[in-house]
Structure 1
């Protein structure tokens, strides 16, 4: 199995997580039915070159949540936190005129840390999160970064994501697409 981040062949399969066990755990812990997402046992891999640990299905695909999955998580009070230490760190790099793209933004809590939320666009799969953000005057689009980057090249000074990479099916494409959205003066954080 090639590493999903660095492409190395130097990976090891660490464990197998049984599909039925995972489905049962999600149901018990969060009352979420993930049968439509987890259709096979998961393989837990480790890349010896970049140290990434990741899950795949037997066929090499990476399962990912859908709108229903993230809408359900939205209802859990701890899922989309209003404040994270990362927000305080990241805001020091953002000026009043910075155009900011946040990918995997949840309900766009980070926008409240910005000097000008009018220059903010968030990308998020959850349609419920989009509705919550709209109530606060924040623009979110329900589209993948890969699709968004096709028509939004070089439009942003800052591209960021917070606690999102573990949800991504193709980290390389995810990061590369964010970079395509940055202008020459931009910074990927």
Structure 2
């Protein structure tokens, strides 16, 4: 077993997930059939790269395909959010004269913001329908893999960014090597992913979209900090979106803590179960600016 982020063999098994349970969760919560991804796989394993703290699911054959994401988008309105905290933050990191590459440009929403600011930008995207839609908006998009694009355009960009992409990638090392190769020396690498510490909402390991086939791995601040030991980059800033930005998630956050403590500290979990919703809602709202939310942005400089 190799770590997808370092290529080394310092990994340990954290837990396993019966695939029948994963299939049921996706069907019940999102009405998406995931059975085809788990044929011949009775259980999914979650490993941790002990050198970085990055956690990843195994085997890699269980990850989603184009049809899976089309199903998610079709039946779950709001899956592709147009309002993203990480976009606003990233714009503040980009100068008007920068040449920008977005890896995994999706529907081109971030590229549109850059275009309005007259910033030179190109998006890489494998979904041909998305590329066609982007072309109608006057956006520059290409259907290349980052590894191939970087090989043809080394040290070309002032900024390389990817939003909510890295958590879907199994071969993290190949992906990051490509991103860094495409950067000029001194350029910025901006990455946004869901925040897991160690799981979404602290200990909610059964959070549906955090599981495969949707996610390949789980990131947190420590894992990003450790990347400087394996790649030619230096962390500039690593910040977590506060829960106060994500009001719909406050209830989920509290219930995740309650359920976790019901298993690990039954007395505390029992007390939390007795707290009326208006009370815990008010308390969570009061402290939400200091509670880590669901997203994390890491900004690195290429050495």
What band does the TM-score fall into relative to the shorter chain?
A: 0.7 to 0.9
- Hey, what does 2:65 align to over in structure 1? 66
Question: Match of 1:29, SS?
Answer: helix
Aligned residue number for residue 111 of structure 1: 111
Root-mean-square deviation (CA), in Å? 2.3
Tell me how far 1:90 sits from its aligned partner. 1.1
1:172 aligns with 2:173: yes
Q: Which residue of 2 aligns with 1:101?
A: 101
Structure 2 unmatched runs, 5+: 191-303
Alignment of 1:25-174 (within 5 A): 25-39=25-39, 40=41, 41-57=43-59, 61=60, 63-75=62-74, 76-114=76-114, 115-116=117-118, 119-174=120-175
Confirm or deny: 8 A CA contact 1:74 1:129 kept in the other structure: no
Report the 3-state secondary structure (helix = DSSP H, G, I; strand = E; otherwise coil) of the residue aligned with 2:37: coil
Q: Output the CA distance in 1 between the equivalents of 2:35 and 2:174.
A: 26
- For 1:74 and 1:139, the matched residues in 2 are separated by 23
Q: Distance in 2 between matches of 1:156 and 1:38?
A: 39
Distance 1:14 1:30 in 2: 26
Distance 1:125 1:79, change over 3 A: farther
Q: 1:147 to 1:31 in 2, by over 3 A?
A: farther
Mapped to 2, the partners of 1:16 and 1:100 lie a distance apart of: 40
Distance in 1 (CA, whole Å) between partners of 2:144 and 2:72 is: 18
Using the TM superposition, give the Cα deviation of residue 138 of structure 1 relative to its aligned residue in structure 2, in angstroms: 1.8
* Bigger-Rg structure (1/2): 2
Shift, 1:62, TM fit: 5.4
Check conservation: 1:23, 1:35, Cα contact below 8 A: yes
**How far apart, CA to CA, are the structure 1 residues paired with 2:7 and 2:17?**
23
Name the SS for the 1:37 alignment partner: helix
In structure 1, runs of 5+ residues without a counterpart are none
The question of whether the paired residues in 1 share the 8 Å contact of 2:100 and 2:158 is answered with: yes
Structure-2 residue corresponding to 1:184: 185
In 2, the alpha carbon distance for the partners of 1:33 and 1:168 equals 21
Q: CA deviation at 1:101?
A: 0.9
Structure 1 moving runs of 4+ over 6 Å = none
Task: Count residues in correspondence.
Answer: 185
Distance 1:7 1:126, change over 3 A: same
The CA deviation string for residues 79-134 of structure 1, in whole angstroms up to 9 with x for no partner, is 221121111111122222322111122212112332225x2222223334334433
CA shift, 1:45, in A, is: 0.9
Looking at secondary structure, tell me which structure has more helix per residue. Answer: 2
Distance 1:64 1:141 in 2: 23
**2:147·2:178 contact (CA, 8 Å) conserved in 1?**
yes
